[in-house]
């Protein structure tokens, strides 16, 4: 099955660490990163889609972060 996740975080090194962790767990970047201003929190937020091939059949109960 092909899995998809969208990672997001405040624009700090925490975002880079989150994406790096996913890459080291076998996820691959999908598309370009994105960045937007969070007016409510008054901060920049980053996002990056990642995909991964995994064995099994997808169900809505699949824990994507555990893959």
Q: For residue range 11-51, what is the model confidence (pLDDT) as tens digits?
A: 999 999 999 999 999 999 999 999 999 999 999 999 999 99
Q: Is residue 67 one of the residues assigned to a domain?
A: no
> Structural domain of residue 31, as residue ranges?
2-56
SS3 17: helix
Q: Is residue 46 one of the residues assigned to a domain?
A: yes
Q: What pTM was estimated for this model as a whole?
A: 0.85
d(CA 4, CA 17) in angstroms, rounded, equals 18
pLDDT in the model for residue 34: 97
Domain count, the chain: 1
Q: Is residue 64 one of the residues assigned to a domain?
A: no
Q: Is residue 45 one of the residues assigned to a domain?
A: yes
HSE-up (13 A, CA, CB side) for residue 55: 0
Q: Is residue 18 one of the residues assigned to a domain?
A: yes
Q: Is residue 62 one of the residues assigned to a domain?
A: no
User: Does an H or E element contain 14, and which?
Assistant: helix 13-24
DSSP 62: -
Question: Taking a C-beta distance cutoff of 8 angstroms, is the pair 58, 1 a contact?
Answer: yes
């Amino acid at each position: 099955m092909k899995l998809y996740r969208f990672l997001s975080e405040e624009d700090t090194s925490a975002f880079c660490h989150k994406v790096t962790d996913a890459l080291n767990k076998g996820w691959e970047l999908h598309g370009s990163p994105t960045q937007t201003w969070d007016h409510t929190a008054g901060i920049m937020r980053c996002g990056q889609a990642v995909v991964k091939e995994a064995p099994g059949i997808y169900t809505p109960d699949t824990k994507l972060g555990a893959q």
